[in-house]
């Protein structure tokens, strides 16, 4: 299963490198979103900075993850189904989307820092929260896109299905991010981090339990 995941992961990278509009489109989206925010807001207050940062990431990641199942033809999906384990399929996608989200977060982070001065004081906690958020968002959205790709209007359904279920994850992330505007200690953020981590684990556990039922044709 591990070897299968790795092979599928490599295949996803190859596919994306071959068709440049995939990742490139998302990065361009992030770029234009940051630019529009700069044009409308000018210099942002620290709270606006944090909230807009996560909103841009959220919408960019919906679009990035949406294609993970949708980009492949129906028949090829059937081919994978005969070849590999369901867990290999979902974990390779989750890993791949996690990498994409980390790239998106890094790019958005640097763009935002250029556009408006970076207000964050305790970077280590911010990056830890961002890492956990990327893992959770990647897992959650990958799973929802596996549900949504069978529907008639994929992109709308993806939004409708994923945005309500991502809120339990997003609220602690934004809470931690707002705390990192000040000089915080581990003790003050420990509770939020444990909530975030447990929601991440809950999502992964649910996916492990539920994905085989979607995979089966």
Partner 1 sequence: MKWWKVLGILLILYSLIAGMLVPLGAGIIRVEPRRAAAGTPLVLEVTGYNSTYRNGDTKAWLKYDDQHALSPRRVTVQNDRDLRLDFVIPKQHPGRDSVNALNLILFNPRDGYSVLPSAVFTVGATFGGDISPWLNSVEVTDASTRFHFPYRNILGETIRNTYYHVPLWMAMMVIFAISMWYSVGFLRRRDPADDQRAEAFASTGLLFGILGIVTGMVWAKNTWGAYWSFDVKQNMAAIALLIYAAYFMLRSALPDRDTAARFSSVYNIFAFILLIPLLYIIPRMTASLHPGSGGNPAFASDDLDSTMRMVFYPAVAGWILMGCWISQLRARTKRLYE
Binding site for partner 1 (CB under 8 A): 143, 147, 150-153, 157, 160-161, 164-165, 167-168, 171-172, 175, 191-192, 195, 198-199, 202-203, 206, 209-210, 213-214
Considering beta carbons, is residue 28 or 160 the nearer one to partner 1? Answer: 160
Residue 174 CB neighbour total at 10 angstroms = 18
Residue 160 CB neighbour total at 10 angstroms = 13
Considering beta carbons, is residue 32 or 151 the nearer one to partner 1? Answer: 151
Closest CA to 46 of 104, 102, 116: 116
Least Å from the CB of residue 118 to partner 1: 26
Considering beta carbons, is residue 49 or 143 the nearer one to partner 1? Answer: 143
Least Å from the CB of residue 214 to partner 1: 6
Instruction: Give dist(CA 105, CA 86) in Å, integer.
Output: 28
CB 158 within 8 A of CB 63: no
Least Å from the CB of residue 48 to partner 1: 18
Token pair recorded at residue 156: 């709308």
Phi-psi bin for 57: left (phi > 0), alpha (psi -120 to 50), beta?
alpha
Considering beta carbons, is residue 114 or 206 the nearer one to partner 1? Answer: 206
Least Å from the CB of residue 163 to partner 1: 8
């Amino acid at each position: 299963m591990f070897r299968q995941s790795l092979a599928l992961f490599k295949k996803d990278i190859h596919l994306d490198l071959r068709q440049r509009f995939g990742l490139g489109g998302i990065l361009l989206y992030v770029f234009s979103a940051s630019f529009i925010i700069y044009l409308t807001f000018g210099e942002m207050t620290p709270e606006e900075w944090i909230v807009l940062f996560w909103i841009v990431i959220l919408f960019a990641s919906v679009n990035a993850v949406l294609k993970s199942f949708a980009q492949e033809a129906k028949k090829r999906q059937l081919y994978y189904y005969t070849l590999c384990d369901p867990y290999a399929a979902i974990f390779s996608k989750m890993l791949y989307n996690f990498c994409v989200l980390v790239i998106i977060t890094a790019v958005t982070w640097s763009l935002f820092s250029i556009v408006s001065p970076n207000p964050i004081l305790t970077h280590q906690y911010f990056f830890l929260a961002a890492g956990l958020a990327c893992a959770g968002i990647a897992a959650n959205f990958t799973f929802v896109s596996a549900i949504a790709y069978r529907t008639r209007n994929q992109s709308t359904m993806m939004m409708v299905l994923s945005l309500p279920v991502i809120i339990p994850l997003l609220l602690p992330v934004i809470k931690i991010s707002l705390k990192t505007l000040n000089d915080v200690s581990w003790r003050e953020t420990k509770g939020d981090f444990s909530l975030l981590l447990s929601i991440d684990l809950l999502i992964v556990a649910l996916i492990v339990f539920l994905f085989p039922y979607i995979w089966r044709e």
